[in-house]
A = this chain, B = another copy of it.
Amino acid sequence: MNLNDTLFRLKALGVKVTPQRQEILEVLLGEERYYSAEEILKKVQARYPAVSFDTVYRTLNLFKKLGLVVELNFQGGYRRYEFNHADRHHHHLVCLKCGRSQKLACCPTDCLAGIEEENPEFAITGHSFEIYGYCKDCRGQVK
């Protein structure tokens, strides 16, 4: 999924393609990692200084609804966003000290299948699976 595909998809959905939305997408697509709302704002403001937090949040929530973006609520209350490379579903190993994370290959599909089967009346829309701890750099300096 690149920028042009995504913009095409937005148009197909009848969603207006504004410079702000386009720039937010470019940020999210630029480096494959997650961002805080503030990081996104700062990066977008490098090109469009007048962009407001409101626009960032509205856009992220829109993209979330359209399935373009995933919102991650990490332990400690950190909220992060990343582009939803639909074909690259994954989870995270998150350092509680420095906040850096790495992608994980494993997804608990067997658990999920069992849960789905045992709860047919529940409409599952997603799941989270994150592993927390302290990375090599941080494990020594934990308070």
List residues of chain A with CB under 8 Å of any chain B CB. Answer: 71, 73-77, 79, 93, 95-96, 104, 106-108, 110-112, 114-115, 119, 121-136, 139
Whether A129 lies near B108 (C-beta < 8 A) is yes
Distance between Cα atoms of A107 and B114 in the complex (Å): 11
Known: A73-B74, A74-B73. A115 touches B131 (CB 8 A): yes
| Residue in A96, A106, A121, A123 whose Cβ sees the most chain B Cβ within 10 Å | A123
Whether A132 lies near B136 (C-beta < 8 A) is no
Chain B residues contacting A106 (CB-CB under 8 Å) are 108, 111, 114-115
Distance between Cα atoms of A122 and B114 in the complex (Å): 29
Q: Which of B119, B121, B128 contacts A130 (CB 8 A)?
A: B128
Whether B128 lies near A129 (C-beta < 8 A) is yes
A57 to chain B, nearest CB (A): 12
Beta-carbon nearest neighbor of A143 in chain B: B65
A87 to chain B, nearest CB (A): 20
Known: A73-B74, A93-B119. A130 touches B131 (CB 8 A): no
Chain B residues contacting A136 (CB-CB under 8 Å) are 121-122
Whether B121 lies near A126 (C-beta < 8 A) is no
A-B contact pairs, 12 of them (CB 8 A): A73-B74, A93-B122, A104-B115, A108-B110, A108-B111, A108-B129, A110-B110, A115-B131, A121-B135, A121-B136, A122-B134, A127-B129
